[in-house]
Chain A
Amino acid sequence: MITVFKWIFPAGLIIALSLAIIGCESGDTEAMQSEINDRDAMIAELEAEVKKMTEEMAAMPDPSGSMMMEETGSRLQTVQDRGKLVCASRNDVPGYGFLDDTGNNVGFDIDLCRAVAAAVLGDADAFEIRLISAAERGPTIQSGEVDLLVRTVTWTTSRDSQWGNYTQTMFYDGQGFLVRKDLGVSSALDLQGASVCVTQGTTTELNLQDFSNQNDLNIETLTFEDTDAVVAAYQSQQCDAFTNDRSQLAAISSGFEDRDAHVILPETISEEPLGPVVPHGDEQWYDIVKAVMAILIYSEAYSVTSDSVPSAATGDTKVDRLFGLEGSFGQDTLGLSQTVAQDVVGAVGNYGEIYNRNLGPGGINLPREGGRNALWADAGCMDCPRGGQIYSAPLR
């Protein structure tokens, strides 16, 4: 016993040191080799680091916000230096961000991230997904640790002002209710005194309360952290209804064995425009992400798919301009390459392809034609609108 005991201290110390080395992403090992004592090796390390940082900060001529902005350079530069785009996303939502059989992150949100990576780095795989919880979304994008937040974030005014800049709505969702048919409920307004299951950390909770208050429904809520528990509670009728974004309700209920015994109520109680968010404070980066989203949308409008990306001028001015084959719509002023659209569409496809792969027939099978998520119009035929809301600033 005593023999083992004697060795605990040195062993612990070595492990602490090694962790410090591993902990340093860029191999800045010397900085970590600060004085470590037995008592709380780790804390000392961390704090020595902090102290060093404080001294450095004190030595700076003017450590104000604007100075730091200039010093860190533009985000485009940072991303290109890093060689990797960092996106905050999730892995537990069917269609948007989930794990496939082999453990890869896939989904609609992930593909948007890939599109931006293809645009700024020329490589659709040069991205890293940081998985974050709902509560982390705000602080993560505010602190600027990530370049892009694509985590089924609903665009709201308060978030737009506090968290970061919303770039472009890439999916229009709305909150609905799933109920069992045998309850005889035909409208959400009949949910007087019902118990409703809801997932935490989304705007759904707040919308539900507003809906309940406005219509005097006195709804009881059961709040769960994750979808699996919510669905289990709903299926065993711990609650009478399940509220979530309609796309989610459709995706989840499609797996029910007794799908026909459930119905999604007609009311949509909220607007849920979803799209990527960038950190505040870098307009160039904001414009870049908006431009990439526009590329995705317009390449669908021009019927250019990943298989038919033109490499030589096609004669169609708009297409040529989009793909940088003749003139441009201003990609170069954003610091991107002239042919950025070729990289983007070639790697991830156009909006329709992304949709079909993840949310359409290849994924959770949400209908698109005639719905809000159809394109507003085909570029070729302005007189035959498709009636959707997916639209972006014209490329000109």
Chain B
Amino acid sequence: MASGTDIPQTDSLPPPITERGIVGWVYANLFNSWYNTVLTFIFAAILVLTLWFGLGWIILESDWRVIATLGGNLIIGQYNIEKACPGQDCFWRPQVSLLLVSALLGMAWAISGDRVAKRIAIGVAVVSVAFAFLPYSLERMGLDVRLLLVANLPAVAAGWALARYTPLGSVRWIVILGVLAFLVTLVLLRGLPGVPGLQPVSVIYWGGLMLNLLLAVTGIALSLPIGIALALGRRSHLPVVKLLCVVFIEVFRGVPLITLLFMSQVLVPLAFPEDFPTNSLFRAGVVITLFSSAYMAENIRGGLQALHPGQAEAARALGLPGWQTTMLISMPQAIRNVIPAIVGQFISLFKDTTLVYIIGMLDVLEFGRAFIQGNVAEYLDGTPEFLLFIALVFWVFCYTMSYVSRRVEEHLGVGQR
């Protein structure tokens, strides 16, 4: 044997410390070049300072009396005041809607099997149950209403079981049941004349977070289809259709929502006779939806525009008719490409619902602000805390939306191919 070929048999060396474990991760992700090192230190300093002062203020100085006093009114506004619901407690009606939402979330969890759906469903149920045991609730709400809140937990379970063990467990049924739940919610909140226990409650008493959510859900559900139609119309080769869509989009995109809302309350009623039944909430909903649709149309148009024409051409070559090409080939891809923009618009829409304060509606932000201003002597100092609380509430909802959108994106492999 030639000794030259003899390689000493030793164990292979472990990778250097800079390549493995926590140190390796830190090195690769934080300090892999001089500018990354600098950036890391700068950002770390900013984070530490923010946390230091933020937490210091929250722990030492903050005063949450406004929220403790208003409690459930922030969620349902004036819905259960004596004037809205003379002679009875209407608190249970929004609670039943919440139960429906919980059940739907349970179904969504069972169908998608995704951890996000699971967390949302359980989160909603847990928050509802926890709300039933707050000092505010113990003081102001009857046992029945608190039981309804606790019932959210079984509702999620029921929804989950329904989707898992019955044929209702499909996307189609969730959409159908979702629309039904929305209708039931509207009827419940509005009430039915003549039905005992369901006496009508005028929409002027709808308020709080409930109002924001109602306006947002309606707007989201309607603005996407209207937006798709407008986007297609704007790309249409039919000049009249195109012109109408362009005018609609540009006008609604071109003016601030608050002026539109104002006009919807001041000018639009003038187009109807004096004794025509008017409903400010309905008009506000229409305006918010149309406003959002115009934006949606532009987002979708952006997605369509980024598609390679080869996609549509290939579909046409396969013999698909025009509308099928659009709806089955172009549109899904276009929407996939602009999911962040679309969800961003949904989030915008939800936040824009706070602008209804312009027309005197008591959404969650305005309810608190009006209360603070009307009782300025006692509660003025609580304004920053109240604003922080509102920020947190909106953040939770909007972040959930954007988190779901990111999961959907991952699911669809955006950026991976």
Contacts and interface: CB of A to CB of B under 8 A. Distances in A.
Do any beta carbons of A and B sit within 8 angstroms of each other in the complex? yes
Given A93-B374, A132-B360, A226-B373, A38 B225 contact: yes
Given A25-B277, A42-B290, A231-B380, A11 B179 contact: yes
B64 interface: no
Contact of A53 (B265, B272, B289): B272
Given A42-B290, A140-B266, A5 B332 contact: yes
Contact of A255 (B82, B328, B376): B376
Interface stretch (A99-107, A285-293, A335-343): A99-107
B370 A92 contact: yes
Interface string A4-30: 110111011111101100111111100
B61 interface: no
Nearest to A54: B271
B27 interface: no
B374 A72 contact: no
A145 interface: yes
B272 A49 contact: yes
Interface stretch (A123-131, A156-164, A266-274, A300-308): A123-131
B77 A103 contact: yes
Interface string B363-392: 000010111111111101101000000000
B244 to A, nearest CB: 9
Contacts of A144: 274
Contacts of B23: none
B331 A5 contact: yes
Given A2-B328, A2-B332, A144-B274, A104 B378 contact: no
B164 to A, nearest CB: 19
A25 B331 contact: no
Contact of B376 (A5, A97, A251): A251
A91 B83 CA distance: 15
Contacts of B266: 136, 139-140, 143
Interface stretch (B10-18, B119-127, B170-178): B170-178
Nearest to A49: B272
Contact of B286 (A12, A42, A128, A140): A42
Contacts of A40: 226, 229-230, 248, 290, 293
A22 B190 contact: yes
B271 A50 contact: yes
Interface range, B side: 35 or more
Contact of A9 (B69, B218, B225, B361): B225
Interface range, A side: 35 or more
Contact of B278 (A11, A25, A57): A25
Given A8-B225, A92-B370, A232-B383, A53 B271 contact: yes
A179 B186 CA distance: 50
Contacts of A231: 376, 380
Given A28-B277, A40-B248, A46 B86 contact: no
B7 to A, nearest CB: 56
A228 B269 contact: no
B250 to A, nearest CB: 15
A22 B186 contact: yes
A99 B370 CA distance: 7
B282 A22 contact: yes
A329 to B, nearest CB: 31
A105 B78 CA distance: 9
Contacts of A68: 274
A395 interface: no
B279 interface: yes
Contacts of B412: 1
The 10 A-B residue pairs with the shortest CB-CB distance, nearest first, are: A98-B374, A255-B377, A23-B282, A131-B360, A25-B277, A92-B373, A103-B73, A12-B225, A7-B175, A139-B266
6 contacts: A3-B172, A23-B281, A25-B202, A125-B82, A128-B202, A131-B361
Given A50-B272, A252-B380, A364-B377, 19 more contacts: A12-B221, A22-B190, A24-B277, A25-B202, A40-B293, A41-B222, A72-B275, A91-B374, A92-B373, A94-B377, A98-B371, A102-B81, A103-B78, A104-B81, A131-B360, A135-B262, A144-B274, A226-B373, A254-B377
Interface of A: 1-5, 7-9, 11-16, 18-19, 22-28, 38-43, 46, 49-50, 53, 57, 68, 72, 78, 90-94, 97-99, 101-105, 107, 125, 128-133, 135-136, 139-140, 143-145, 226-228, 231-232, 251-252, 254-255, 257, 364
